[in-house]
Structure 1
Amino acid sequence: MTHLSTAYKAGRRVEHSGEPGAALAKITEARGGFVWVDMVAPTAEEFAQVTGELGISALSYEELTRHRPRHAIEEVDGLLLISLKAFSRTGEETTNLATVSMHMCLTERVILTVHSAADALLAGVRRRLEARTKYLSCGPFAVLQTICDEVVAGYDRLAHEIEADIIELERDVFDDGTPHPGKEIAKIKHEVLFFRRVEDPLHSVLADLARGDVDVHRGTLDRFQHTLDRLDRVDNTIDGLNELITGIMQAHLAQVAVQQNSDMRRISSWAAIIAVPTMIAGLYGMNFDFMPETKWRVGYPLVVTVMAVACWVVYRKLKKTGWL
Structure 2
Amino acid sequence: MIYREQTGDSEQVDCARPDGGCRAVLDRLADLKRGEFGWIHLDGPDQAELEELSGHLGLHPLAVEDAVQAHQRPKRERYGDVLAVALRTLLYIEDGSEVETGEVMVFLGPRFALTARHGPADPAPEAERRLRTDPGTLRFGPAAVLHAVLDVVVDSYNDAAVQVRADLTDLERCVFSSARDDVTEEIYSLKREVVEFRDAIQPLVPVVREFAASRDGWPEGVLPYFRDVADHAHRADTEVRSLDELLNSVLDAHLARVGTWQNDDMRRISAWAAILAIPTMVAGVYGMNFSHMPELSWTYGYPLAIGAMAVAAGLLYRAFRRNGWL
Question: TM-score, normalised to structure 1's length?
Answer: 0.87
Q: Which letter does structure 2 place at the counterpart of 1:92?
A: D
Residues 235 and 15 of structure 1: is their aligned pair in 2 closer, same or farther, counting only changes over 3 Å? closer
2:50 to 31, 41, 47: 47
In structure 2, which of residues 62, 67, 72 is the aligned counterpart of residue 64 of structure 1?
67
Give unmatched runs, 5+ long, in structure 1.
none
Q: Is the 8 A contact 2:44 2:117 kept in 1?
A: yes
> What residue in structure 2 maps to residue 128 of structure 1?
130
Q: CA separation in 2, counterparts of 1:158 and 1:264?
A: 42
Asked if the contact 2:60/2:79 (under 8 Å) is kept, the reply is no
From the superposition, tell whether residues 190 and 41 of structure 1 become closer, same or farther in structure 2 (CA, over 3 Å): closer
Paired residues of 1:203 and 1:231 also in contact (CA < 8 A): yes
The corresponding residue for 2:18 is none
Question: Equivalents in 2 of 1:242, 1:292: separation in Å?
Answer: 70
SS of 1:84's equivalent? strand
- Aligned length, in residue pairs: 316
1:81-113: per-residue Cα shift (whole Å, max 9, x none)? 11100101356221x111111112211111111
| Cα distance, 1:82–1:125 mapped onto 2, change above 3 Å | same
Match of 2:236 in 1: 234
Q: Comparing 261-270 with 241-250, which one deviates more in the overlay? A: 241-250
What secondary structure, in the 3-state scheme, does the structure 1 residue paired with 2:140 have? coil
Give the gaps of 5 or more residues in structure 2: 16-23
Partner-residue secondary structure (3-state), 1:85: strand
Asked if the contact 1:9–1:137 (Cα under 8 Å) also holds between the matched residues in 2, the reply is yes
Residue 10 of structure 2 corresponds to which residue in structure 1? Answer: 13
Change (3 A) 1:16 1:37: closer
| Matched residue SS, 1:137 | helix
Q: Report SS of the residue matched to 1:73.
A: strand
- The secondary structure found in structure 1 opposite 2:58 is coil
Aligned counterparts of 1:315 and 1:118: Cα–Cα separation in 2: 61
Tell me the residue number matched to 2:92: 89
Inter-partner Cα distance in structure 2 for 1:169 and 1:151: 27
Given the superposition, is the C-alpha separation of residues 279 and 63 from structure 1 closer, same or farther in structure 2, using an over 3 Å criterion?
closer
- 1:148 matched to which residue of 2? 150
1:155-212 CA-to-partner distances (Å, cap 9, x unmatched) read 0001011111122222222332462423222222222222112210001211221121
Instruction: Kindly state the Cα deviation for residue 245 of structure 1 after the two structures are TM-superposed.
Output: 2.8
Cα 1:23/1:9, change in 2 over 3 Å: farther
Could you say what secondary structure the match of 2:35 adopts?
coil
Q: TM-score, normalised by structure 2?
A: 0.87
The match for 1:323 among 312, 322, 325 is 325
Moved more, 170-179 or 310-319: 170-179
Match of 1:24 among 8, 21, 29: 29
Q: Is the 8 A contact 2:101 2:119 kept in 1?
A: no
